[in-house]
Amino acid sequence: MNIKNSFHPYAIITIIFWSLAYVLTRLTLQYFTAFSLGFLRYFIASCTLMIVAVLLKMKLPSKEDFLWFVSAGGAGFFFYMIAFNQGQAVVTAATASVAIATVPVITALCSRFLFREELTIFQWIALPVEFFGVTVLTLMNSTFSVNMGLFWLLLAALALSIYNLLQRKLTRKYSSLQTSTFSIFCGTLMLSAFAPASIQEISLAPPVQCFYLAILGICCSAIAYCTWSKAFSKAKQTSQVSNYMFVIPFLTSLLGFLLAGEIPDRATLVGGGVILIGMLIFNFGEKLFIKIR
């Protein structure tokens, strides 16, 4: 595998930062409301990317593509955050994890019809294996709740899938930095509706919470979304990148142990093992089968 031309390092960087975001979000929600946190996180990301854009003299997108960036910002940041928070308010964390784990499946199915991307038999087998791993990890010691919150979470999963597809489309014409930068700008403008409450909350937050917020904005948003777009620009298939999202629940558990002292239980180890097996099947199953033959 040629690392220089591979999407894997970029996808891995993103997933690490997004998994860290789940841990830091739990810590920061002790002082911020969910909507204020969403605005502040992407406002910091926008400020970071604005500096980069000015230094690099980044070109603005063409007029005909403006609505695509607005759609990406609306789906991936504004609507996703609202739908996810609405769902999280009335369902268990386990149910939320399973619902969001449908994103790679939805993305793969949509890519099949929109971009005519074909998956191998091993990749189709890997998807349910990985999804099963997520359900084991999240539900072995928890319960699955079915109510209006589940509907909101499935809408959130659909919004994130749409964002992935739009990133795939935009990175064919723009650099990964341009694509993520202007998408985040559009999303932040929409989230600015929560700015007044956010200003009041951050003025009362302790310094360590502001530090967590900075990491969320710079690392888990600005850098992570840029590397995510970069992964899409290098991958042959959209699903090759989105498939990495299956690892988030497992990696979040490990980071929770390292950073917050949350000890992983048997469900985490068993479910995480199944997810990793599915990842190996998805990425290397066909190659291993050919070598064996």
pLDDT (tens digit per residue) in 197-220: 999 999 888 999 999 999 999 999
Specify the DSSP class assigned to residue 58.
P
pLDDT tens track for 59-118: 999 989 999 999 999 999 999 888 887 887 676 666 677 777 788 888 888 888 887 877
Domain boundaries of the chain, sorted by first residue: 3-292
- Do you know the residue count of the chain? 293
Average pLDDT of the chain, as a whole number: 84
Q: Which residues contact 161 (CB under 8 A, 6 or more apart)?
A: 103, 106, 107, 110, 242
Q: How would residue 126 be classed by pLDDT, with cut points 50, 70 and 90?
A: confident
Give 85's contacts (C-beta < 8 A, 6+ positions apart). Answer: 34, 35, 38
Cα gap 178→66, rounded to integer Å: 12
∠ at Cα 239 (170, 141), nearest 5°? 125
Cβ atoms of residues 86 and 155 within 8 Å: no
pLDDT of residue 142: 64
Distance of CA 28 to the CA centre of its chain: 18
User: What confidence score (pLDDT) does residue 106 get?
Assistant: 86
Q: How many CB atoms lie within 10 A of CB 8?
A: 16
d(C-alpha 146, C-alpha 64), whole Å: 42
Higher pLDDT, 203 or 269: 203
**pTM score, whole prediction:** 0.83
Which residue shows structure tokens 């002292």?
261
Mean pLDDT of 18-40: 84
* Residues 114-137, mean pLDDT to the nearest whole number: 81
Reading the block at residue 53, the tokens are 């854009």
Say if residue 146's pLDDT is above 70. no
Residue 214 and residue 216: Cα distance in Å, rounded? 5
User: What are φ and ψ of residue 199, in 5° steps?
Assistant: -60, -40
- Nearest-angstrom CA–CA distance, 29 and 37: 7
